[in-house]
Amino acid sequence: MKIIFFISLFLILIPFFFYPLIIFLLNIVFPRKIKDDKIKMKKISFLIPAYNEEKVIGQKIENIKKVSAHYPFEMIVVSDGSTDGTEEIAKLKGAKVLRIDRGGKIKALKRGLKESEGDIIAITDADTELPENIILKCMEYMEYKKAGCVGCGYRFKGEKSGRNIFKRIEDIIRTLEGKLGITLSYDGTFFMAKKELFEDFENLPDEIQEDFYIPLKSLSKGFKNFYLKDIYVYNLQKTKDEFRRRIRIFTRAFFTLSVAPKLNLTLKIALFCHKILRYFLIIPLILLYISSFWLNKFIFIFFTLIFIYSLTPLPFSNSLRIYLSSLIASIPAFFNFLKGKKFKYWNV
């Protein structure tokens, strides 16, 4: 049991301590110096998949107009079978509107890509507000020849410190990866990518995560992925069922990994430490808890008290509860993947 305890503890510490420490040290030893030519990008194509977003789509389009005034751009709203006034409002606000039968986000993006004219694709949700300086900051990177993708974190509108402590840890890790040019994934709320990275997108299954696959595609082709520090987009609507949302996200992540492009050894290690190990972290966590019972009763009691604390309304308990529930969600998500259960829709 002692061996199981320490192996489990080591596996848990990899994504939260050892991996962040290694990339932090790499940033010190190899500080980022972008030595690359800049190229003039012709146009930004904003792709906005939308399903019944009449309450926010008008505000979204006006938001894009405001933050993108310095660059040529187009707005393409792809209605995923909307039954409200989403399409009419989008047209009145000046966006190009396309419609598909209800098929999910990836299907909507595929349709929008066919009509896009820009050499940079910006994917953003209808219920996401972009800060005023975000496009300028993104383009500082995207105009480099070697830049593939750039993105940032997100917060819910009105929050001051982010969603929870674990989300802030994720932002720190992505920032460190971004300084090395190896950000592995983004939040689907907003990110930018060179259009050439979508060359095989039409042939991919509709169950993948575009904010995971495209960054991996970028890295596989030798591009660099960046992450904006201390810049956030804002979600205007909170998810009603976070646990169900995590199951969907993890299931789609497993489908994405099944078709992921080939990476070099260094990036494979980063992918394992940052993403894959986290998806299966519930296993060493359970083993750690069980083995602690035989190793040391005080440690076992301590872990038990942490779990009980997560169920209380005390400070930080909500962050802990959300993260524990997300770890548990990985179990049904993995079985969904094995059974081939698909989540095409991103907003159910």
pLDDT at 342 over 80: no
pLDDT of residue 347: 56
Chain mean pLDDT for the chain: 91
**235 vs 40 pLDDT, higher one:** 235
Decide if 152 contacts 190 (C-beta within 8 A): yes
pLDDT of residue 323: 85
pLDDT at 200 over 90: yes
Kindly state the average pLDDT of the residues 181-202: 95
pLDDT of residue 42: 84
DSSP of 248-302: HHHHHHHHHHHTPPP--HHHHHHHIIIIIHHHTTHHHHHHHHHHHHHH-HHHHHH
Instruction: Find residue 278's DSSP bridge partners.
Output: none
pLDDT at 69 over 90: no
pLDDT at 280 over 70: yes
pLDDT of residue 344: 58
Banded model confidence at residue 313, pLDDT cuts 50, 70, 90: confident
pLDDT at 279 over 80: yes
* Contacts for 117 with CB less than 8 Å, ≥ 6 apart: 43, 45, 74
Banded model confidence at residue 184, pLDDT cuts 50, 70, 90: very high
Kindly state the average pLDDT of the residues 146-155: 94
Cα 102 to Cα 104: distance, rounded to the nearest angstrom: 6
User: In this structure, which topology does domain 1-348 adopt according to CATH?
Assistant: Spore Coat Polysaccharide Biosynthesis Protein SpsA; Chain A (3.90.550)
Least confident stretch, 29-33, 194-198, 271-275, 322-326: 29-33
What are the backbone dihedrals phi and psi of residue 81, each rounded to the nearest 5 degrees, phi first?
70, 30
Token digits of residue 213: 């696959």
Least confident stretch, 18-22, 29-33, 342-346: 342-346
Cα 306 to Cα 288: distance, rounded to the nearest angstrom: 13
Banded model confidence at residue 31, pLDDT cuts 50, 70, 90: confident
95-144 per-position pLDDT tens digit = 999 999 998 999 999 999 999 999 999 999 999 999 999 999 999 999 99
First to last CA, the chain: 42
pLDDT of residue 162: 46
Least confident stretch, 26-30, 158-162, 235-239, 302-306: 158-162
pLDDT of residue 159: 64
pLDDT at 348 over 60: no
Kindly state the average pLDDT of the residues 42-47: 94
